[in-house]
């Protein structure tokens, strides 16, 4: 049984983890509120077969502990003192390999998880191809409504982001009909336009970041695997209950998930457009009102920030991203400690909450960078 207060063990191999899961009578899966962690949770849960389990998505700074006694607790995308196993790096890929050991693995969900993480895993991509999930020309959006997908995608930032009317106008300029299925040539022209508009006046890294939205793989419950990834990430951050149901494959929540994705994307793109920004040596800062800070930090870091570290700040929350390989989580922890706040995160991404002025927190972060 899981015992409160034990030290978390390192991530184990897929084979060893599969063996532990086969022997377990009850499993607990605790997912961070990200698309990759949610996908990994769904992969493991589906592979458990008849083994009872409890799965939950826990937002930053929420208490993940439950009183339920389990044989094995797996923390996914996050650290947790009471976890028996922790999956952080390559969480979706490791979960996929574990699920294959157990006999049931969904390559579309696994590929969506790695796309959500921003780094498509080669093993998962190969498995998806072998399963018949083919790439096609175009842009990865959930569903068949291109204007809706372009306007609400958080895989990139473009002039029409957050504005469905502007997206429809863009399609009209390309002579792509909103009423019929686009031709292969339509898809190619649209992809070329997105690639061009996204990378114009953007940092060099934007050319790499936008690749996960181009030449989409067909499959999953939302037409494209990239669209699936986008929805998973938004719903994980906004609606934990719906997120778990979606990861478990319950189609009944698809429309609710899409509505959550649209709302999340609109708020994120509005924040990117309206934020007050500042540039320091090695640091780009964006300030604004209540917003999905994690998504906004990613969008700025990938497509707008001229510096390698991005900090997005509201009145009492912050999110940071690093694009040069540094451990920004360590930086965020140092800044939060300076002002008496709290921080969570690993590697190139982190979150914080604080009870001081925004200016004071920014200064503390600048000192820690």
Q: What is the mean pLDDT of each run of 10 residues along the chain (369 residues)?
A: 37 88 96 97 97 94 78 92 90 96 96 94 94 96 95 97 96 88 95 96 96 96 97 97 96 96 98 97 96 98 98 97 96 98 94 97 97
> 209-212 long-range CB contacts below 8 Å, 24 or more apart?
209/118, 209/156, 209/302, 209/303, 210/155, 210/156, 210/303, 212/115, 212/118, 212/120, 212/140, 212/155
Tokens of 149: 């997908």
- What is residue 11's DSSP assignment? P
Strand order in the sheet with 309-313: 276-280, 283-287, 309-313, 317-322, 349-353, 342-346
Q: Which residues pair with 31 in a beta bridge?
A: 57, 76
Give the per-residue SS3 of 131-196.
CCCCECCCECCCCCCHHHHHHHCCCCCCCCCCCHHHHHHHHHHCCCCCCCCCCHHHHHHHHHHHHH
- State whether the Cα torsion 197-198-202-206 is positive or negative: negative
Residue 31 CB burial class (10 angstroms; 0-12, 13-18, ≥19): buried
Burial 205-231 (b: 16+ CB within 10 A, else e): bbeebbebbbbbbbbbbbbbbbbbbbb
Architecture of domain 275-368 in this structure = Roll (3.10)
SS3 content of the chain, % helix, strand, coil (to 5): 50, 15, 35
- Which three-class secondary structure state does DSSP give residue 8? coil
> What are the start and end residues of each CATH 3.10.310.40 domain in the chain?
275-368
Integer Cα distance of 46 and 211 in angstroms: 29
Give the pLDDT score at 82. 86
pLDDT, position 67: 63
User: The whole model's pTM is what?
Assistant: 0.94
Closest to 206 measured CA to CA, from 299, 99, 311: 299
């Amino acid at each position: 049984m899981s015992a409160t207060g034990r030290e978390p063990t390192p991530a184990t191999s897929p084979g060893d983890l599969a063996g532990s899961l086969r022997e377990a009578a009850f499993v607990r899966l605790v997912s961070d509120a990200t698309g990759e962690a949610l996908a990994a949770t769904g992969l493991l849960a589906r592979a458990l077969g008849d083994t009872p389990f409890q799965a939950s998505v826990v937002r930053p700074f929420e208490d993940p502990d439950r009183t339920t006694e389990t044989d094995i607790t797996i923390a996914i995308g996050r650290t947790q003192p009471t976890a028996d196993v922790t999956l952080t790096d390559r969480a979706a890929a490791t979960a996929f390999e574990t699920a294959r050991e157990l006999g049931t693995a969904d390559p579309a969900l696994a590929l969506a998880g790695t796309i959500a993480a921003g780094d498509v895993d080669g093993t998962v991509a190969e498995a998806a191809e072998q399963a018949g999930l083919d790439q096609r020309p175009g842009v990865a959006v959930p569903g068949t409504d291109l204007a809706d997908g372009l306007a609400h995608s958080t895989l990139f930032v473009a002039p029409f982001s957050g504005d469905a009317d502007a997206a429809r106008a863009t399609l009209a300029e390309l002579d792509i009909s909103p009423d019929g299925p686009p031709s292969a040539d339509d898809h190619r022209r649209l992809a070329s336009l997105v690639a061009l508009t996204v990378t114009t006046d953007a940092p060099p890294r934007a050319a790499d970041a936008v690749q996960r939205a181009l030449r989409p793989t067909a499959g999953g419950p939302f037409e494209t695997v990239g669209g699936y990834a986008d929805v998973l990430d938004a719903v994980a951050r906004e609606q934990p209950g719906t997120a778990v149901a979606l990861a478990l494959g319950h189609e009944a929540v698809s429309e609710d998930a899409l509505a959550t994705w649209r709302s999340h994307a609109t708020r994120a793109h509005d924040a990117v457009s309206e934020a007050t920004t500042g540039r320091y040596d090695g640091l780009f800062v964006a300030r604004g009102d209540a917003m999905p800070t994690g998504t906004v930090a990613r969008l700025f870091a990938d497509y707008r920030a001229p510096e390698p570290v991005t900090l997005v700040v509201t009145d009492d929350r912050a999110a940071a991203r690093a694009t040069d390989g540094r451990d920004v989580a360590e930086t965020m922890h140092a800044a939060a400690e300076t002002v008496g706040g709290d921080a969570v995160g690993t590697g190139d991404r982190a979150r914080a909450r604080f009870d001081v002025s925004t200016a004071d927190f920014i200064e503390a972060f600048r000192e820690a960078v």
